[in-house]
Amino acid sequence: MRLQAQPSPSPSIRLPSFVQLPPDLGVSACCRDVFWVQNQSQFCVAAPSPSIAALRPAMSAAASDCAAEETQRRTINSTIDGLRKITRNEGILTLWRGLTPTLMMAVPANVIYFAGYDWLRGSPKSPMAGRISDNYAPLAAGSVARIAAAIVVSPIEMLRTRMQATQSQEKGVMRSTLIGMRDVVAADGYSSLWRGLSLTLWRDVPFSAFYWWGYEYGRERLHQAREASEPHSVLGRARSRSELSHTSVLADSFIAGAASGGIAAFFTTPFDVGKTRQQTVLQDGSARAKDLPENRTMPRFLWHIYRKEGMSGLFRGWTARCLKVAPACAIMISSYEVGKKLAGTVNEKRED
């Protein structure tokens, strides 16, 4: 999140004007007192006043070195570098910032998501029944289920995004974020809580479509490989997936979920980058009135990132995203599949 939200240096960036700055702006006592120009600039003014610089040239050089060091300390260059710097500068607990809203939205989102997908795929009352072939049903069912889940949890998703993008060592980040969202609601109404919904859909709908498509394909290939390696039959026919043991269901769903989730996460990283940047920049109401790249539509904004930063800008943070999404998808889908099979077994025993 931090790596994606961090602006990249660009050769086309315009230098701020130093003409109107006070002559003694800069580091006077502690080299950590770095003064930033316009706060969004990649450049830093860190020099003693002219009188001190004339008497102590070494102090001027030291201040510049400290400014460069501070810039490097605050800049995140990779996933591992970000973990190390956030832990060192803000504390290790910062890595779990946003956990509370994540847990708050996990239950309703996953209930709607998984149950909705199963209903759309298997129910005879589903609007997809008989209209979409089995090859493309996972794409459509996954997309529709994700849209429904995203609408429900969009306000909590916005809260989590803002908390994770906050750079602060102070406690009470969630409280201050909630106060900020309350002010936004007071100014723009409750509909502002769903302001980031379109951004979330740009990221989550393609991900869900590719994820379920890959998952169903992976499960089927794993099942076929098992049947080929262990030829046996039940009453003269091959076993269906519903007849697999709990261990086989757990293994197949875990492997297919991890592989499909990791691949889908990688290819949808540009949408995650665009969502993160737009949602963190546009949380300031005044930013929406400015002519900023973040105010553009998602395709145009991604094109802007590609022109300025190249493919590396679009796929910034892909390693962290894949490392997070792949095991999360594996754990969720395997837990769901095993739980569904256990529930089915209990229901069968009750009917008997």
For the chain, domains (ranges, CATH) are 2-75 (no CATH), 90-346 (1.50.40.10)
| Tokens describing residue 311 | 């493919």
What distance in Å separates the CA atoms of residue 305 and residue 323, rounded to the nearest whole number? 23
Ranges 64-78, 104-118, 146-160, 268-282: which has the least confidence? 64-78
Is the pLDDT higher at 65 or at 282? 282
Tokens 């100014």 found at: 187
* pTM value surpassing 0.75: no
DSSP structure class, residue 175: H
What distance in Å separates the CA atoms of residue 297 and residue 12, rounded to the nearest whole number? 22
User: Could you tell me which residues are beta bridge partners of residue 45?
Assistant: 35
- ∠ CA 40-42-47, rounded to 5°: 105
What is the rounded average pLDDT of the residues 294-322? 91
Q: Does residue 86 register a pLDDT over 70?
A: yes
Is the pLDDT higher at 222 or at 88? 222
Within its chain, how far is the Cα of 189 from the centroid?
Answer: 26
Q: Confidence class of residue 15 from pLDDT cuts 50, 70 and 90?
A: very low
Of these ranges, 19-33, 145-159, 307-321, the one predicted with the greatest mean pLDDT is 307-321
